[in-house]
């Protein structure tokens, strides 16, 4: 992946010098041409097409922003309800992530989302303990986290 990115940066610089236009726009257009060339010649390069990982990172960022906005509205609804009828709880989220970086990223994304807090990671790193303000259905919450954040993290790292 790093090799392809370096080639693409180099193609952008070469494009800028060959077009004799030393602006940022010229570099970006050369970078885009480089993405196309690397995509077309990908069968000769041993790595996976790197822009797929970049796209997965962009999707993870937008997923987090979406979840952050939705969680903020949920917390606002809980705050402005006249009667506090939510059920807080702690759940053990089974995780399929292997590396410390992946587990740490998931725990931080959960903590940064309002209404949830990563409390602890089990010693064998198979569970993350999460405190949630409102926990009506634990299985639905576990499924939701696994299908959003954990799946997106695995797309980025694997």
Contact 130, 91 (CB under 8 A): yes
Q: What is the pLDDT of residues 25-75, one digit of tens each?
A: 888 888 888 888 888 888 887 777 777 888 899 999 999 999 999 999 988
Output the pLDDT for position 122.
94
Averaged pLDDT for residues 9-32: 87
Helix (H) or strand (E) holding 116: strand 116-121
Contact 78, 133 (CB under 8 A): yes
Output the pTM of the full model: 0.77
Burial of 82 (0-12, 13-18, 19+ CB in 10 A): exposed
For 31-94, the three-class secondary structure string (H helix, E strand, C coil) is HHHHHHHHHHCHHHCCCCCCHHHHHHHHHHHHHHHHHHHHHHHHHHHHHHCCCCCCCCEEEEEE
pLDDT at residue 119 greater than cutoff 90? yes
């Amino acid at each position: 992946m790093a090799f392809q990115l370096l080639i693409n940066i180099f193609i952008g610089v070469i494009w800028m010098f060959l077009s004799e236009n030393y602006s940022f726009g010229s570099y970006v257009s050369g970078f885009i041409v480089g993405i196309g060339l690397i995509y077309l010649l990908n069968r000769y390069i041993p790595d996976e097409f790197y822009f797929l990982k970049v796209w997965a990172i962009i999707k993870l960022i937008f997923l987090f922003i979406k979840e952050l906005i939705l969680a903020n509205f949920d917390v606002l609804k809980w705050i402005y309800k006249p009667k506090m009828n939510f059920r807080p709880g702690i759940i053990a989220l089974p995780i399929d992530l292997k590396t410390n970086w992946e587990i740490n990223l998931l725990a931080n994304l959960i903590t940064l989302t309002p209404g949830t807090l990563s409390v602890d990671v089990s010693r064998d790193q198979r569970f993350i303990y999460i405190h949630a303000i409102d926990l009506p259905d634990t299985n639905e919450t576990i499924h939701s986290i696994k299908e959003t954040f954990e799946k997106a993290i695995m797309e980025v790292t694997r």
